Structure 1
Amino acid sequence: MERRDVQGHYERLAAEYDEHWVYGPHYITWMSARIAETLRLSSADRIADIGCGTGMFAREVARIVNPQHAILCADPSPAMLHQIGMPPPAALTPVVASAEDIAVGRVQLPYGQLDAIWLKESVHHVADPATTLHGLAARLAPGGRLLVVMLPTSIEYPLFQAALDRFTELQPNPELIVDNLRAAGLQTTLRYVDYELRLDREKYIGMVRARYMSVLSTFCDSDVEKGIEEMRAAHPEPVLAFPDRFAFLLGVKPGEGR
């Protein structure tokens, strides 16, 4: 259900997506720096952000790396890509495509091979991760790197219980994604990185009402409102503090890069 409606969910959320995902003044900078350092990005790399949304992380990575080649920002939602800017910044090239499109070559990219690819919290939208990651790995140059950033199957967000349970039900296990990357011929490591979030309770409730997480799109309006009542009762504090834990799965293609 979540996967069937995912594109419609992001089309509806596109105009206010950044508002709901910019948790605080440092989150985007922090996450983008972790992506850049994990992938060991250089200015000479040919880079793709798969499932980029509005390009918020690609934009900051471009600032950090100052790439010689524009970062490819791939997303199946034209509405999300439109938020990058029209015309887009010179350092970013929007590509209307899903991870599956790129994996099987349905979309022609300006670079024959890529030196670095990342998927940040988008692998759970892929119907067949094993096949898609194998196809993405095939697009890497020797020594190329593929990074999957994802949440674990259990999260400590101050959401209502039904949403937490459904998230666990739908979220793939990072260990299985590790297996997929290794089966694709990549030398793979897994590490976890934590970031503490501190959000005004009413702001967070507004994010939930707007269904800032795709799992929330699987609930009807009345269920979301009932869940918000549950959240208010469980969390009377004006500021919500909770950990955001990410699995960083890095796959490296054997061989020497250029």
Structure 2
Amino acid sequence: MRGHYEELAAEYDEHWVYGPDYVSWMSARIIDALHLSPTARIADIGAGTCLFAKEVARQLGPHHPILCVDPSEAMLRQLGTPPSSGLTPIVASAEDIAEGRAGLPYEQLDAIWLKESVHHVDDQARTLRGLADRLAPGGRLLVVMLPASIQYPLFQAALDRFEELQPDPANIQAHLRAAGLDTGLTHVEHELRINRDKYLGMVRARYMSLLSTFSDSEIEKGIEEMRSAHPEPELVFPDRFAFVVGQRSRETA
């Protein structure tokens, strides 16, 4: 999977910017869900190119750099040198942070988010517990993830495989609860409008990690299926996300 993102790094932002307001909309939802303040010590785990962290920093004006944590150095290099203002890249996995194998500039964190990266974690219960342990009293951990099924205009085999592989948000909530956090589960939805040919190109480039499980011939067959099912020039579909939030008690041990 790391190889998938290494290959996609240079074009990643292009594939994820569905429309002019998508990134700002999602970033605002993250800020609201975590009740972020400019003084918070924040980490984006699985940050990729820091597409959303950059926008959060722009909207929030943080006093401390947001930590952009990702195991792919190629993805983090898209920040440039020096990196964008208000961001600090750290090459590490969620497991590295959870197990204390990667040093962080902050002893504790006030807010952590993982956006569409928890499905890459092998032992989700253990890793989320380790991340919860990095929170300061009152700190919040947010997992942004797709629900168990989606209404994307993908080919059927991709939709079926998604349902086979996608974790259930309720299970993620249970892991956070077991880690000692007070939890909540809500959903947000954003209508996507995207040129059909652009979206087909995104599928061909395997913009979703799920698509990396299909061969070139399977992808091309799937694209032909999508062309037949969606002759319209613009695709309109809901992008629905589960927001799983856990908060550590304000009482110190």
Q: Structure 1, residues 167-220: CA drift from partner, whole Å, max 9, x if none?
A: 111100000000000000000000010100001000000000000000000000
Q: What residue in structure 1 maps to residue 19 of structure 2?
A: 24
Which of 221, 232, 241 matches 2:236?
241
Whole-angstrom CA distance in 2 between matches of 1:236 and 1:225? 16
Task: Work out which of the residue numbers 194, 207, 214 in structure 2 matches 1:219.
Answer: 214
Which residue, out of 154, 162, 167, partners 1:172?
167
Give the % identical residues: 71
2:53 counterpart SS class: helix
Aligned to 2:74: 79
User: Equivalent residues in 2 for 1:101-140 (5 A)?
Assistant: 101-140=96-135
Query: 1:42 matched to which residue of 2?
Result: 37
SS at match of 1:248: strand
| Separation in 2, partners of 1:64, 1:115 | 18
Cα distance in 2, alignment partners of residues 180 and 87 from structure 1? 37
- Distance in 1 of aligned mates of 2:124 and 2:79: 27
Q: State how far apart, in whole Å, the 1-side matches of 2:146 and 2:19 are.
A: 19
CA displacement at 1:107 relative to structure 2: 0.3
Q: Matched residues in 1 for 2:33 and 2:102: separation?
A: 27
> How many pairs does the alignment contain?
252
Equivalents in 1 of 2:249, 2:173: separation in Å? 16
Matched, 1:190 2:177: no
SS at match of 1:52: coil
Look up the equivalent residue of 1:79 and give its one-letter code: A
SS at match of 1:83: helix
Cα deviation, 1:20-63, whole Å, max 9, x if unaligned, reads 00001000000000000110000110000000000010001011
Identify unmatched segments of 5+ residues in structure 2.
none
State the 1:153 CA deviation. 1.2
> Which sits farther off after the overlay, 115-124 or 80-89?
80-89
Structure 1 segments unaligned to the other structure (5+ residues): 1-5
Shift of 1:76: 0.1
User: What is the rounded CA distance, in whole Å, between the counterparts of 2:38 and 2:240 in structure 1?
Assistant: 29
Offset at residue 256 of structure 1 (A): 5.5
Q: Normalising by structure 1, what TM-score?
A: 0.97
Q: Root-mean-square deviation (CA), in Å?
A: 0.8
Structure 2 residue identity aligned to 1:210: A
